[in-house]
Amino acid sequence: MFACFEMVSDNQFYNAVRSYNYRTRLLNGVNDLEKRIFDYMRDKNLSEIAINGYYIYITDGRISIMESPIPNINQLHFEFGNIANGNHTAHN
């Protein structure tokens, strides 16, 4: 029924209990958040959506969330391909 893991010390047991308690508390709000996501996407008639930093899909009644890269809007993109070939001009 339960996997048996050997605890080496009382401190490791304490850390396991503390971690379990913390993760259990985090799970308490998941159902409400899940309902809010479903309700929003149903109201907007969406099965998938991309928002800043995430792709959200609903498939077979389950939510899938993938993190997406956030472009750095303060970073300029330069093409340096011609510099390697010696075909560049100096800019002052």
Please give the single-letter amino acid code of residue 25. R
Distance CA 91, CA 24 (A): 60
User: Which pLDDT does position 84 carry in this prediction?
Assistant: 56
Distance CA 34, CA 38 (A): 6
Sequence-ordered list of residues with C-beta below 8 angstroms from that of 81, at least 6 positions apart, any chain = none
User: Which pLDDT does position 21 carry in this prediction?
Assistant: 93
Does residue 14 or residue 86 have the better pLDDT? 14
Residue that is written with structure tokens 């971690």 in the block: 19
What are the tens digits of pLDDT across the range 6-62? 667 999 999 999 999 999 988 888 889 999 999 999 999 999 999 988 999 999 989
| Alpha-carbon distances, residue 42 vs 1, 14, 37, 57, 91 (angstroms) | 39, 43, 8, 12, 54
Mean pLDDT of 60-78: 82
